Chains A and B, each alone.
Chain A
Amino acid sequence: MTARIIHVSVRESRMCVDRILLVARCLPGYVSAVRDCVLLSQALGLGGFEHLLRHYERLRMASLEAVAVTDDAAGAVIDAGGMHAWLVAPAVADIGVDIARRCGRADLRVRGVEERRELATVCALMPRYGAAATYRSEDAGGATLLVTNASPPRTAAQWDPLLHHAFRHGFAVDEALWRSVYALSNSALAPDSVVSRRHAGPVILKDDGTLFGRVPQDDDFDPNMLRNVARTPQEHS
């Protein structure tokens, strides 16, 4: 049977990837940076969503302490300490741009990185900074990134051409794969309960079965929606 391809929007993709990264226990303040790498990976035809689905547990992180940066005349040697490329890519991009701004270019040699080829996402991040980069893998298992300065982006298309394309056309994804991504992302949502349902809405159902708060006079509602939590999927019945 032929796989059905659907086009997933940037918004949906961001939402689901963010949630999966939270589930993976990536640092909350670092999630959006890693998410951008996942989306760029998908746009570049690298691991993307499929890789995320299989290996999301490897994206757990508490810090970048394992990463060691040694500056040298050409740029820097970065030992990623065995971390996944998506986790170090934002930091590698920052360091490359920082050095290139001061020195005109930055020759970064990255070692000890898992899923090395995903470092190509660093090149895709560069237009945002007004920089450019080339990626070359090395026989020894590392990779080299050459970062140079470029014109600052003036339009959304220049800021991130891949993202701009995705906003217009979405990401083409096998529907079954996307359903799996979506299902996994839902594990970041809180299980529903009668208590939880008190945390929103115009009225609260108290333990004694009475309502707290004035019921909107223009509203008819089924009080069982507050007494019991439906187990059925959300769908118009």
Chain B
Amino acid sequence: MRPSRLAVLQTSRMSATRLLMAKAIRERWRIEKLRWQIDERARGTALYRITTGDMPFDFIVHSFEPKMEGRMGRIIGRAWDMMAALVEGPVCEDDVRTTGEEIRKLYAGRATPGTLIWARSNRSARVFNHTVDSLAAGHQPDVPTLAEACYLMRNTGLDGNGTFGTRSFRSLEDTHPLRRPLDAQMLSAYMMRVFSIDLVNHLARCRSDKAVPLAPEIQRFLGVGNGSALGLNLFVNNHPKLIDAWIAAREHAIVAAKRLPVTAGDPRLAQLLALIDRALVFRRQDRMEYERFAASAEVAAGLAVVREAVRALFESGMVNGIRPRYPLAALADSLDGRVHDEAFETLMGLLTELVPELCDRLAEGLAVDEEYATEPDMSIGRLQDIVRSEYAWAFAMDLDSESSQRYVWYKSATAEEPRRGPRSEAGDVFNLGLDLPRLIRALDSEIATRPAAQTVARFLLECPRLRFIVARTQTLSGLRFHSPHMNMMGEELVPCDITRLINIGIHGLDKTRDYLQRALRGVIYQGAPTVDDLAAGARLDWFHPPEPVL
């Protein structure tokens, strides 16, 4: 659970984008454009309907002409090119109008009943403009230019789960199509992509009678951009049960895949080989620059080694000359440490594609509450046993040096932006970061001065400041993956390691590169089916697309 290790986990069949797309493909979700009242300057309203079979959803889009003033890829920005709402449908005219009025107020606005998500996004100006210019001129955009960003519009905010009056996800019915964690956000992200494609086609048509539509191959190649930052570190603080459930489910799927009884020529090995080939090309063609994280060329080199090992297994049924009982487990063991961690984790992620039904079943168990409760009659001796056995890592950390306590986490009055700064600069702010190792040590120290038989109820009467950490520790006891082993207040923490765990592993983003080790940019749904593909029945292995050749 070290942050640097969590940062290298790669996308898998358990990632939210893959889970949602699999469901949409399996159930043949239909997406219709019911209204398009957008002018030649991109101003106006659009309305989409997503028919899932069980329930329709409407995606209400309010589109704006881009402007530079107040534009910024952070939540403190004040200019967006599109604001939208994902609402349980069908919506009425009043819903469309009210959403348009309220969504512009943002933090002072209230969502209409049945709203799941408020979303907003901005264009990647260069790629967007290049695409419109090209289409208007009657030809497709230049692939190398597109590949610099890999999207037309970038998500700058997906708010739901009670925010602004949206529906709490815990209130969603058992039959609700978007009841799994992150499904509603990921559907909104997909709809951003749909809108961005419709918008470039529309603007090109407005400009020229000779305009051509964006080719389906390019539509698939383009995803939707994403910017994430410090807030996901606080998300991890506040969702330990979800983090545990997701990592445990992913591990479960990997172990199940490793236990598959594959032999030479097994079609599952052929499938794995094909997936690795695609991942290899995807990495070789990646044009992004990474700072903290490995260059794709390095990962590709590792994948080439992985490919050879899988090929040998496919052809001979053996790993290093031995016919093991669990060949894929032996294969993984033989590669662990031999190739770059991201290449190894790519293999782990691809293994889960061999057990898709299991992943879908596991996904149904990801919806967990995040409530804590004390166990008042537990002895503090027992509590100390838990602390010492489950949090040994917290006792091995430097928590005394100046650098280990230099930072504070807080939110700004403007847009409630999560920030992390030196205490000396931040001033008198309320720390919002979870100082887990210090809380654990403080708890241990206080317990040590009291009789082991004292109950938690009496202990907390004397130490109410420790009530939260006691409840958290008792509630999470026995879970293995709930909290990264990190000191959030220290200089050594690299925040984007945690952001990357969420963005890549859980959300399923590609090409996530860091900026100043605290902000991440990435791409969602690169390679995903188009609206037409979904209706026609798309392939499940849509990810890691090669650059299109037209």
Q: Which positions in A face B, CB cutoff 8 Å?
A: 6-12, 19, 22, 27-33, 61, 63-64, 67, 69, 90-91, 93-95, 97-98, 101-102, 128-129, 156, 159-160, 163, 167-170, 186, 188-192, 195-204, 212-214, 216-222, 224-225, 229-230, 232-237
Contacts and interface: CB of A to CB of B under 8 A. Distances in A.
Interface string B67-102: 011111110111110010000000000000000000
A220 B125 contact: yes
Contacts of A102: 377
Contacts of B521: 202, 216, 218-219
Contact of A236 (B104, B374, B431, B466): B104
A229 B414 contact: yes
Contact of B518 (A32, A200, A217): A200
A221 B461 contact: no
Interface stretch (B158-166, B206-214, B313-321, B326-334): B158-166
Given A201-B229, A221-B72, A6 B457 contact: no
A91 B464 contact: yes
Nearest to B468: A29
Q: Which 9 A-B pairs have the closest CB atoms?
A: A11-B162, A9-B162, A202-B515, A199-B421, A98-B457, A199-B419, A94-B457, A94-B376, A218-B149
B515 A214 contact: yes
Contacts of A129: 373, 376
Contacts of B439: 29
Interface of B: 64, 68-74, 76-80, 83, 103-108, 110, 120, 122, 124-127, 148-149, 151, 154, 161-163, 165-166, 168, 170-171, 225, 227, 229-230, 289, 291, 369, 371-374, 376-377, 410-421, 425-427, 429-431, 439, 455-458, 460-462, 464-469, 471, 515-516, 518-519, 521
A57 B94 CA distance: 42
A28 B73 CA distance: 32
A200 B458 contact: no
Contact of B162 (A12, A32, A63, A188): A12
Given A9-B166, A97-B377, 10 more contacts: A22-B430, A28-B468, A31-B468, A33-B468, A63-B464, A94-B456, A98-B457, A196-B421, A201-B516, A202-B521
A139 to B, nearest CB: 27
29 contacts: A8-B165, A9-B162, A30-B468, A32-B467, A93-B376, A94-B376, A95-B376, A98-B377, A160-B371, A167-B168, A189-B410, A190-B419, A190-B426, A192-B414, A195-B425, A199-B421, A200-B229, A202-B516, A202-B519, A217-B148, A219-B73, A221-B71, A221-B73, A222-B72, A225-B72, A225-B78, A230-B414, A235-B104, A237-B69
Contact of A213 (B168, B289, B516): B516
Contact of B369 (A11, A156, A190): A156
A30 B470 CA distance: 11
Contacts of A6: 110, 165
A29 B466 contact: yes
Contacts of A189: 410-413, 416
Contacts of B151: 218
Nearest to B110: A6
Given A32-B468, A63-B464, A222-B69, A200 B74 contact: yes
Nearest to A226: B72
B369 A95 contact: no
B410 A235 contact: no
Contacts of B289: 214
Nearest to A78: B461
A219 B77 CA distance: 12
B227 to A, nearest CB: 8
Contact of A234 (B154, B162, B415): B415
Contacts of B426: 190, 196, 199
Contacts of B471: 32-33
Which of B68, B106, B373, B521 has the largest count of A CB atoms less than 10 A from its CB? Answer: B373
Given A9-B168, A218-B225, A95 B466 contact: no
A100 B458 CA distance: 14
B519 A200 contact: yes
Contacts of A222: 68-72, 79
Which of A31, A225, A233, A237 has the largest count of B CB atoms less than 10 A from its CB? Answer: A225
B78 A204 contact: no
A225 B465 contact: no
A236 to B, nearest CB: 4
Nearest to B120: A236
Contacts of A232: 78
A196 B412 contact: yes
Nearest to B68: A222
B461 A95 contact: yes
Contacts of B429: 190
Contacts of B455: 98
Nearest to A198: B421
B361 to A, nearest CB: 21
A91 B78 contact: no
B541 to A, nearest CB: 27
Nearest to B169: A167
Which of A22, A159, A218, A221 has the largest count of B CB atoms less than 10 A from its CB? Answer: A218
Nearest to A231: B414
Nearest to B418: A200
A234 B415 CA distance: 6
B377 A101 contact: yes
Contacts of A98: 376-377, 455-458
A163 B168 CA distance: 12
